[in-house]
Chains A and B, each alone.
Chain A
Amino acid sequence: MEEIPNFWRTEVFHPLSVHFPIALLLVAFLFKLISLKFKKEVWTQGGSILLLLGIIGIWIAIYTGNLADGIVSRTICDPTILKDHENLAYLTAWLFTAAGVLDFLVFLKLFFINSKMWLISLVTVLIMAAGSGVLMYTGHLGATLVYQQAAGVYTPTSDCAEFN
């Protein structure tokens, strides 16, 4: 008789880790966008902290995604969606990492960028806007992998015998 698999499977760590950076990075973008108009610390520094946490989170999600990829690619029916999901995830991670580097430069207040501080903040927000767009589409592809192809999902037998 089939047994219910252990919940803590390798492929489960990706959905467990991916939602934190999604939320953190989208809210970081909103904070940084607001900080262009309102210079309060809550928006500028709050946005920076969220961005930093989101960047750490997204690279962890990339790592767990790579672990899951090696397993679910053998079972899903259209791995091309997974490949697009993977490529766009890397693009998202690099975009937010680039934004993080620029944000860090502004934080350091280096003498040679002092006069361009506002411009760099604007470029940072624009990169984060692009990153947010790609992030949402990447998330959408991830959702289609789960809800249309059951990626990483255990499908119970038709008579649910393993639950008796």
Chain B
Amino acid sequence: MLKPKLIKMKTNFLKAIGFASFMVFFVSCGESTNVVESGTYQGTIDKVEAEKTEIYVKTEDNKTLELYFTEGTELTQNGNTVDFSTLTEGQKVEVEIEKVGKRLDPIAVRILE
């Protein structure tokens, strides 16, 4: 007959597997993004991927825009051109976007704070 300690250990092990499986699915869901029409949108920076010069912007109507900076993207703060490294998560921004197919090209990104 199994000792209570052993039974508890097995139960904990199975719980750990269950929790790990849940975490795998939770982590793997990843971020979903939205496609919007060309125009100007305000929102908050949700994520900055510096190595890809890419930002995710959460708009006021709760859409997530994935924006890859191009050579023509203008990044400004108080009217002055600033470096990409100025961008941080949580900053309020206004983005001017051109929709090309389903790709969103940022024409201008203005930091509002």
Contact = CB atoms under 8 A, between A and B. Distances in A.
A87 B103 contact: no
Interface in A58-99: 69-70, 73-74, 76-80, 83, 86-87, 90-91, 94-95, 97-98
Interface size bracket, B side: 20 to 34
B23 to A, nearest CB: 9
Interface residues of A, number: 25
B51 A70 contact: yes
Given A95-B24, A112-B9, A83 B17 contact: no
A54 B31 CA distance: 25
A131 B6 CA distance: 32
Interface string B26-40: 011111110100000
B102 A69 contact: no
B68 interface: yes
Interface string B3-30: 0001001100100010011001101111
A144 to B, nearest CB: 13
B54 interface: yes
Contacts of B51: 70
A36 interface: no
Contacts of A91: 24-25, 28-30
A113 B17 CA distance: 12
Given A70-B51, A112-B6, A83 B100 contact: no
A102 B66 contact: no
B30 A86 contact: yes
25 contacts: A69-B52, A70-B68, A74-B70, A76-B101, A76-B103, A77-B100, A77-B101, A77-B102, A77-B103, A79-B33, A79-B68, A79-B102, A83-B30, A87-B30, A90-B27, A91-B28, A91-B30, A94-B25, A94-B27, A95-B24, A98-B20, A102-B17, A113-B13, A116-B10, A127-B21
Interface of A: 69-70, 73-74, 76-80, 83, 86-87, 90-91, 94-95, 97-98, 101-102, 112-113, 116, 123, 127
Leading 7 A-B pairs by shortest Cβ distance:
A77-B101, A87-B30, A70-B52, A91-B28, A78-B102, A94-B24, A94-B28
